[in-house]
Amino acid sequence: MATQHENYSLVSITKRVSVYPKSSSPQQLLSLSNLDRQCPILMYLVFFYNPSHALKNLSINTVFSSLKSSLEETLSAWYPVAGRLTLNPSDGKLDLWCNNGGAILVEAVTQVKISELGDLSEYNEFHEKLVFKPSFNGNFSDMPLLVAQVTRFGCGGYSVGVGTSHSLFDGPAVFDFLRAWASNTTVIGSTGLDHQQHKPVHDRGTLLACMRSQPASAKLGKNPNSVSRVAAIDHLYLLIKQAARDWNHVSDGKLGGQKLSHTGSSNQDNYVLKTFHLSVSMIESLKRKIFREKRGSLPCSSFEVVAAHLWKARTKALGLRKERMVCLQFAVDTRTKMVPPLPQGFSGNAYVLASIALTAGELEEESHESLIERIKEAKNSVTTDYVCAYMEALEAPQTSLPPLKELTLVSDWTRMPFHKVNFLHGEAAFVSPLVPPITQVAYFMHSPTESRSIDVRIGLLPQTLTAFSHHFLTNMQ
Local confidence pLDDT in tens for the 477 residues of the chain: 344 445 556 899 999 999 999 998 889 999 999 999 999 999 999 999 999 888 878 899 999 999 999 999 999 999 999 999 999 888 889 999 999 999 999 999 999 999 999 999 999 999 999 999 999 888 888 999 999 999 999 999 999 999 999 999 999 999 999 999 999 987 655 444 555 678 999 999 888 888 766 554 444 444 444 445 799 999 999 999 999 888 775 443 343 333 322 233 345 558 999 999 999 999 999 998 998 866 556 678 999 999 999 999 999 999 999 999 999 999 999 999 999 999 999 999 999 999 999 999 999 999 999 999 999 999 999 999 999 999 999 988 777 777 899 999 999 999 999 999 999 878 999 999 999 999 999 999 999 999 899 999 999 999 999 999 999 998 776
Asked if residue 393 lies in contact with residue 233, where contact means CB atoms within 8 angstroms, the answer is: yes
Residue 100 lies in a domain: yes
- The DSSP bridge partners found for residue 109 are 12, 152
* Residue 411 phi, psi dihedral angles, 5° rounding: -125, 125
Tell whether 31 and 125 lie within a shared domain.
Answer: yes
Residue 194, pLDDT score = 52
Same domain for 158 and 38: yes
Question: Amino acid identity, residue 368?
Answer: H
Q: Do 271 and 168 sit in the same domain of this protein?
A: no
Among 179, 204, 229, the domain-final residue is: 204
- CA distances (Å), origin 114, targets 13, 138, 237, 342: 18, 35, 45, 41
Element (H or E) spanning 424, and its range? none
Which of 173, 204, 235 lies at the terminal end of a domain, its last residue?
204
For residue 376, count CB atoms less than 10 angstroms from its CB and return exposed for 0-12, middle for 13-18, buried for 19 or more. middle
Helices 60-77, 171-183: inter-axial angle, 10-degree rounding: 120
Give the pLDDT confidence score for residue 309 in this predicted structure: 97
Residues 260 and 373 in one domain: yes
Same domain, 174 and 260: no
Same domain, residue pair 267 and 400: yes
Helix/strand/coil percentages in the chain, nearest 5: 35, 20, 40
In a domain, 438, yes or no: yes
349: in domain: yes
* Residues 336 and 468 placed together within one structural domain of the fold: yes
Residue 310 host element (H or E): helix 302-318
Collect all residues with Cβ–Cβ distance below 8 Å to 3 and sequence separation of at least 6. Answer: none
Residue where a domain stops, chosen among 160, 179, 204: 204
Q: Which of 127, 166, 202, 419 is catalytic?
A: 166
pLDDT at 214: 55
186, 212: one domain? no
Q: What is the CATH number of the domain that holds 379?
A: 3.30.559.10
Alpha-carbon distance of 438 to 242, in angstroms, equals: 19
Decide if 423 is inside a domain. Answer: no
- Report pLDDT for 206: 82
Q: Is the omega angle on the peptide bond into residue 340 within 30 degrees of 0, that is, cis?
A: yes
Quick check: is 458 in a domain? yes
Inside any domain, residue 363: yes
In a domain? residue 212: yes
Residues 238 and 165 in one domain: no
Where does 328-408 have alpha helices with state H? 360-365, 368-380, 384-393
Domain that holds residue 375: 208-416+429-473
pLDDT at 208: 87
141 and 266 share one domain: no
Q: Are residues 263 and 390 in the same domain?
A: yes
Identify which of 185, 197, 181, 198 has the alpha carbon closest to the alpha carbon of residue 146: 181
Q: Are the C-beta atoms of residues 471 and 317 closer than 8 Å to each other?
A: yes
Name the pairing type of β-strands 407-413 and 325-333: parallel
Report the pLDDT value the prediction gives residue 54, as an integer from 0 to 100: 80
* Count of structural domains, the chain: 2
- Under 8 Å between Cβ of 412 and 445: no
Identify whether 166 is a catalytic site residue: yes
In Å, the largest CA–CA distance within the chain is 72
Amino acid 222: pLDDT: 44
pLDDT of res. 293: 63
Asked if residue 40 lies in contact with residue 437, where contact means CB atoms within 8 angstroms, the answer is no
In a domain, 424, yes or no: no
Residue 193 and residue 231 in one domain: no
* pTM reported for the whole predicted model: 0.90
